[in-house]
Amino acid sequence: MKKLENLLKYTTVFLGFVSSVFFVINYFILSRLRPKMIRFEVVSQAEENLMNIVGVGLLLFLAFCLLSLLWIVRYLKRARKVNLFSVVLIIAGVLSLLFVFSDVALLNDIGKQYKHGLAQPEWLILYPIMAFQFMTGLILTFSHLFGLKEKDKVKHVAKDSNIFLIVQYVGVVCGLMGLSLSSLGFLFPRAWSLNIHTTISSTVLLMPYALAVSYWLFTKLQEKDRQWYDEKQMQDVGKSAFLTLLLTVFFMILLFVLNYNNLGGVISITWLPLYLFSALFLFSLGNLYFN
Amino acid sequence: MKLANRLRKYRFEHNEITQQDLANEVGVTRLTIHSIETGKFNPSTLLVLKIARFFKAKVEDIFYLTNKERKKK
């Protein structure tokens, strides 16, 4: 078990360093392509092929984020408590993971707009996102090496509370991101192929939460005396569920009233993700509040 | 009326057992023990009995009713 943990740790650290190097390489590749694409100059086949390197870098970073989050969650399972630093690490990790998909989408859009001779404002979003991912990658890598100490762990935890809390933090982040992205449809109703974007982005945004819940389920299945929630958690979940029911009903009525004259418009597609992500956000936030 | 407790005192007197160790013994999470100690959560009868049995004490020695207003005076 110790060997497996070490293997996981050093694979994660290795991937962290490699993906950080790739971010630097990607920065130079994109800086070379950007001026040409903005001025609609011809991009050679060789230069176009450089995008494969960018793709490899992003794939490695995706693997790093997944392993990194898994490693942090495994560590926190037996940590004395979930401190602010761990929460920040988890939130930054989840955001960076989600941003890999937005990197791909933005690069795709930039490519398409270049081919059609259109402006590419996406560059302005791409660079800050990649800078954030690069910084998060470095912080996560160094945290694995020096930040998460064995002495802060307890020997045995019969009933988990830390993974439960982490699931709620991930739920808050995914819920907020989902709400923001689904609301974008109202701002740009014509620029979106709404059906596809809404479906894909909702699926991607639910992925970290689904992974966190799966890991929580996995730890529950490993418990000897299995009980999904202890009595305090059960009470908190009950209160949060009631609050979520009340607020989502109010939210959905408000959406209905605001869109009453255009029920066949954007709302006909976004109502489901808006409902799902508001429920996820409120339920997770409620659990954290009552805890 | 409010349910109060001397859980912290009992933990201290029992080799300063940690919240986590007590939680493991009675089958709840550490946060539940913490919430009971800080008066945020009223435990069930079953949990109260488990805690009392663990400390080999009577329930009313650990848990008692208090009047918050009277305490303030």
* pLDDT tens string B9-19: 999 999 899 99
Nearest chain B alpha carbon to A159:
B29
Out of B18, B24, B31, the one facing A158 most closely (by C-beta) is B24
Task: Inform me whether the C-beta atom of residue A225 falls under 8 Å from chain B C-beta atoms.
Answer: yes
Nearest chain B alpha carbon to A224:
B27
Q: Which pLDDT value is given to residue A192?
A: 55
* CB contact (8 A) between residue B27 and residue A160: no
Contact A22, A57 (CB under 8 A): yes
Q: Which of A196-200, A287-291, B33-37, B61-65 has the lowest mean pLDDT?
A: A196-200
Q: Which pLDDT value is given to residue A116?
A: 87
Q: Which pLDDT value is given to residue A10?
A: 87
First to last CA, chain A: 32
Distance (Å, whole) CA A19 – CA A123: 21
**Beta carbons within 8 Å of A28's beta carbon, 6+ residues apart:** none
Nearest chain B alpha carbon to A160:
B29
Contact A148, A72 (CB under 8 A): yes
Q: Which two tokens stand for residue A206?
A: 């639910």
ipTM for the complex shown: 0.84
What does each of the 291 residues of chain A score in pLDDT, given as a tens digit? Answer: 678 778 888 899 999 999 999 999 999 999 888 888 888 888 888 888 888 899 999 999 999 999 999 988 888 887 877 888 888 988 899 999 999 998 998 898 888 888 888 888 888 889 999 999 999 999 999 988 887 766 667 777 778 888 999 999 999 999 999 999 888 877 776 655 667 777 888 888 899 999 999 999 988 888 777 788 889 999 999 999 999 999 999 999 999 999 898 888 888 888 999 999 999 999 999 999 998
Q: Which pLDDT value is given to residue A269?
A: 83
Report the DSSP pairing between strands B63-66 and B2-5. Answer: antiparallel
Residues forming a β-bridge with B3:
B65
B48-60 per-position pLDDT tens digit: 999 999 999 999 9
Contact A94, A133 (CB under 8 A): no
Distance (Å, whole) CA A64 – CA A99: 13
Instruction: List helix spans (H) across A194-230.
Output: 194-222
Distance (Å, whole) CA A38 – CA A32: 11
pTM recorded for the entire structure? 0.84
Task: Inform me whether the C-beta atom of residue A5 falls under 8 Å from chain B C-beta atoms.
Answer: no
Residue A200 main-chain phi, psi, to 5 deg: -65, -50
Distance (Å, whole) CA A141 – CA A9: 10
Q: Which pLDDT value is given to residue B71?
A: 47
**A contact test, residue of B7, B20, B51 with most A CBs within 10 A:** B20
Q: Which pLDDT value is given to residue B72?
A: 42
Separation in Å, CA of B4 to nearest CA in chain A: 16
* CB contact (8 A) between residue A232 and residue B44: no
Which residue ranges form the domains of chain B, and what is each CATH number?
Answer: 2-58 (1.10.260.40)
**Single-letter amino acid code for the residue at A208:** P
Q: Which pLDDT value is given to residue B69?
A: 52
Q: How many CB atoms lie within 10 A of CB A157?
A: 20
Mean pLDDT over the full length of chain B: 89
